[in-house]
Chain A
Amino acid sequence: MTQRRFKWRNLYLWLVFIVLYAPIIFLVVYSFSKGDTMTNFHGFTWSHYQDLFADTRLIAIFLDTLLIALLSSLLATAVGTLGALGINNTTRPVTKNTLLALNNILMVSPDVIIGASFLIFFTALKIPLGFGSVLLSHIAFSIPIVVLMVLPKIQEMSTSLLDAAADLGANNWQLLSQVIVPYIMPGIFSGFFMALTYSLDDFAVTFFVTGNGFTTLSVEIYSRARQGINLEINALSGLMFLMAMVLVIGYYFINQYSSRHRSNVRGRRK
């Protein structure tokens, strides 16, 4: 009985994963097609990958995109986590709700509006458009999602835990680094990953605030739509995806291994 139920559950998860990965498999399959567009598979070829490696401009754009994504997510996660702690600490519900509403404004505003107003903002302050302005904008629009991911974790944390730590004489830094951060770690990680997602996906905001030769992959892809997106882009996406996959799975298992290893050592010492 339990055996059968177990299978049904797996089936559901498999289904979800198949649907989630179907379009990506589609893209990757076409990166090997001899044609020029994502219609009608014309037989196998590596030529799009060869084109890709010869295209230094596209590769530079790709590296810049990753750089912006990682850097902005790191900083946004830091600011957002501290912000979530701050919001949690506010005692008056009115203040808290106001802060939350302000927090969510960038999430509800369409990208075009955010992009246009950031552009006006940067040019008014005479901040040159390019890497810096793109980085600042990406940090800015990633912060709210980090807060949304971290806040529920903080709220679940019982105050007695904090009080106990404080009573034991923990100072602020200890409290934060030894008690709070380890507890809300899953939230921080999800926040970081979501920030990464937002950054990699963004087109409109980046378009408006970039300049002076700096471009990200999204901007490049969207502006190629008029001429038809060529399969070199598919090849690049396929490679990027493979890399991410290897990194994530690799990191996960190394992590697992080392923590198991550590606990074994500790166990033996006992």
Chain B
Amino acid sequence: MQRKQRLSRNTAYFVPYTLWILLFVIAPVLLLIYQSFFNIDGQFTFANYQTYFSSSTYLMMTVNSVWYAFLITLATLLISYPTAYLLNETKHPQLWLLLIIMPTWINLLLKAYAFIGIFSQAGIANQFLSFIGIGPKQLLFTNFSFIFVAAYIQIPFMVLPIYNSISELKPSYVNASRDLGATNWQTFSRVIFPLTLPGVKAGIQAVFIPSLSLFMLTRLIGGNKVITLGTAIEEHFLTTMNWGMGSTIGVVLIVAMVIIMWLTGGSGKRHARKGLTK
């Protein structure tokens, strides 16, 4: 009874957030859906969706986007998880964490230009490669540099939530697991990782979803070798001014996001429940 009361009173706090959802999420989404039914001449049509799902160009773009977003997320996760874990063991973890976020305050375009300088044929990266005897390589416009820079941009967004859940981890669990004779790997895979899963999931959501619609880096660093849905949207909104088609891709992205959320959300819950019953 008391519990219920507490909940109902809490809804008052929820008003600004609900207002935000109504004004800045639902309203724009309805607008987007509405626009997606108009062609370039302003006539009502389903043709945009037809084009999207029947043209090999758009389907290939979708596959590309998902694949690269996956690679970027994976790379980010592989770098960020150990970073977050090791940060937690340093003396001033909060400070180091802030220092990880701070590079994101420098304008993205400037950082991209800096990377162009670093990866160029006479740049530091190639000088280093020559120094260790590999010799200069074409680094720009390769998948490697594209994924590297994209992961670079995303690292803070992944480290932060993971760190937050690792710092909550009670050392007693780890000790208990060790005392019970688990190896380091077992402790990690059975105890630490599952317990930090909420953070990992938050990180993946914060990285994978925006990676689907990257557009600037695909051009600046990737030289448009990879065309993603973000590029197409950009083009439709700013060059062709075919807002209908652009909106259609936007709607598809939103639907994809809902599906991803549904998938990751579902599996996470099962995991947690399994943990509890054990």
Tell me, yes or no, whether A and B come into direct contact in the complex with CB atoms closer than 8 A: yes
Residues of B within 8 A of A248 (CB): 95, 98-99, 102
Q: Report the minimal beta-carbon distance from B232 to chain A, rounded to whole angstroms.
A: 10
CA–CA, A16 to B90, complex, Å? 14
Chain A residue with Cβ nearest B12: A172
A114-150, CB under 8 A of B: which get 1 and which 0?
Answer: 1011101100000000000000000110010100110
Residues of A within 8 A of B246 (CB): 112-113
CA–CA, A110 to B216, complex, Å? 11
The interface centre, meaning the residue of A16, A106, A120, A241 with most chain B CB atoms within 10 A of its CB, is A16
Residues of A within 8 A of B160 (CB): 149, 190, 193-194
Q: Tell me if B7 and A89 are in contact (CB < 8 A).
A: yes
Q: Tell me if A172 and B202 are in contact (CB < 8 A).
A: no
B20 at the interface (CB under 8 A from A): yes
Complex A-B: 27 CB contacts under 8 Å: A12-B86, A22-B124, A27-B111, A39-B117, A101-B261, A103-B25, A108-B256, A109-B28, A109-B253, A109-B254, A110-B213, A118-B24, A152-B165, A153-B168, A156-B198, A166-B3, A166-B6, A176-B13, A187-B164, A200-B104, A217-B107, A218-B109, A221-B109, A225-B109, A237-B110, A244-B102, A248-B95
Q: Tell me if A20 and B212 are in contact (CB < 8 A).
A: no
- Which of the candidate stretches A45-53, A79-87, A260-268 sits at the interface with the other chain? A79-87
B180 at the interface (CB under 8 A from A): no
Q: Tell me if A237 and B107 are in contact (CB < 8 A).
A: yes
Q: Tell me if B20 and A193 are in contact (CB < 8 A).
A: no
**Top 9 nearest A-B pairs by Cβ distance?**
A83-B17, A23-B114, A86-B14, A117-B28, A140-B24, A108-B257, A26-B114, A110-B213, A152-B198
Q: Tell me if B86 and A152 are in contact (CB < 8 A).
A: no
Q: How large is the interface on B (under 10, 10 to 19, 20 to 34, 35 or more residues)?
A: 35 or more
A151 at the interface (CB under 8 A from B): yes
B115 at the interface (CB under 8 A from A): yes
CA–CA, A152 to B165, complex, Å? 8
Chain B residue with Cβ nearest A224: B109
A54 at the interface (CB under 8 A from B): no
If the complex has contacts A85-B13, A86-B13, are A197 and B237 also in contact, measured as CB distance less than 8 A? no
CA–CA, A155 to B58, complex, Å? 39
Which of B10, B89, B94 has a CB less than 8 Å from the CB of A172?
B10
Chain B residue with Cβ nearest A222: B109
CA–CA, A21 to B104, complex, Å? 10
Q: Tell me if A79 and B106 are in contact (CB < 8 A).
A: no
- Which of the candidate stretches B130-138, B139-147, B149-157 sits at the interface with the other chain? B149-157
Q: Tell me if A233 and B110 are in contact (CB < 8 A).
A: yes
CA–CA, A24 to B110, complex, Å? 9
Residues of B within 8 A of A245 (CB): 102
- Which of the candidate stretches B38-46, B47-55, B171-179, B203-211 sits at the interface with the other chain? B203-211
If the complex has contacts A194-B101, A194-B160, are A104 and B209 also in contact, measured as CB distance less than 8 A? yes
Residues of B participating in the A interface, judged by any CB pair closer than 8 Å: 2-3, 6-7, 9-11, 13-14, 16-18, 20-21, 23-29, 31-32, 79, 82-83, 86-87, 89-90, 92, 94-111, 113-115, 117-118, 124, 152, 155-157, 160-161, 164-165, 167-168, 198-199, 202, 205-206, 209-210, 212-213, 215, 230, 233-234, 237-238, 243, 246-247, 250, 253-254, 256-258, 261-262, 265, 269
Contacting residues of chain A (9-38) with chain B, CB-CB under 8 angstroms = 9, 12-13, 16-17, 19-24, 26-27, 30, 38
Residues of A within 8 A of B156 (CB): 194, 197
CA–CA, A151 to B167, complex, Å? 15
Q: How large is the interface on A (under 10, 10 to 19, 20 to 34, 35 or more residues)?
A: 35 or more
Residues of A within 8 A of B14 (CB): 82-83, 85-86, 89
CA–CA, A225 to B220, complex, Å? 12
Chain A residue with Cβ nearest B79: A16
A59 at the interface (CB under 8 A from B): no
A196 at the interface (CB under 8 A from B): yes
Q: Tell me if A143 and B17 are in contact (CB < 8 A).
A: yes
If the complex has contacts A113-B233, A121-B31, are A148 and B202 also in contact, measured as CB distance less than 8 A? yes
CA–CA, A22 to B124, complex, Å? 10
CA–CA, A118 to B29, complex, Å? 11
CA–CA, A233 to B107, complex, Å? 10
Q: Tell me if A193 and B98 are in contact (CB < 8 A).
A: yes
Q: Tell me if B233 and A110 are in contact (CB < 8 A).
A: yes
Q: Tell me if A241 and B105 are in contact (CB < 8 A).
A: yes
